[in-house]
Amino acid sequence: MDVLEQLQNTLQSRLTADPTTSYVAQLYHKGMNTLLKKVGEECAETIIAAKDAEQSGTNEDLVYEMADLWFHSMALLTYCRVDYKDVLQELARRFNMSGLEEKAQRISSASQGDHNHLKGEP
At 36-54, the pLDDT tens digits run 999 999 999 999 999 999 9
Query: Is 91 inside any structural domain?
Result: no
What is the reported pTM?
0.80
Q: Which residues of the chain have pLDDT under 70?
A: 1, 113-122
Residue 115 domain flag = no
Q: Is residue 117 part of a domain?
A: no
Q: Does some domain include residue 106? A: no
> Which pLDDT belongs to residue 119?
44
Within a domain: residue 110? no
Reference 27, options 75, 88, 96, 95; nearest CA is 75
Which pLDDT does position 105 carry in this prediction?
A: 76
Per the structure, the count of domains in the chain is 1
Look at residue 122 in the predicted model and tell me its pLDDT: 41
Decide if 119 is inside a domain: no
Q: Which domain holds residue 13?
A: 3-82
Read off the CATH number of the domain in which 61 is found: 1.10.287.1080
- Domain assignment present for residue 95? The answer is no
State the Cα angle at 24 between 21 and 28, rounded to 5°.
105
Neighbouring CB atoms inside 10 A of 47's CB total 13
- What is the pLDDT at residue 73? 98
User: What is the reported pLDDT for 1?
Assistant: 66
In a domain, 45, yes or no: yes
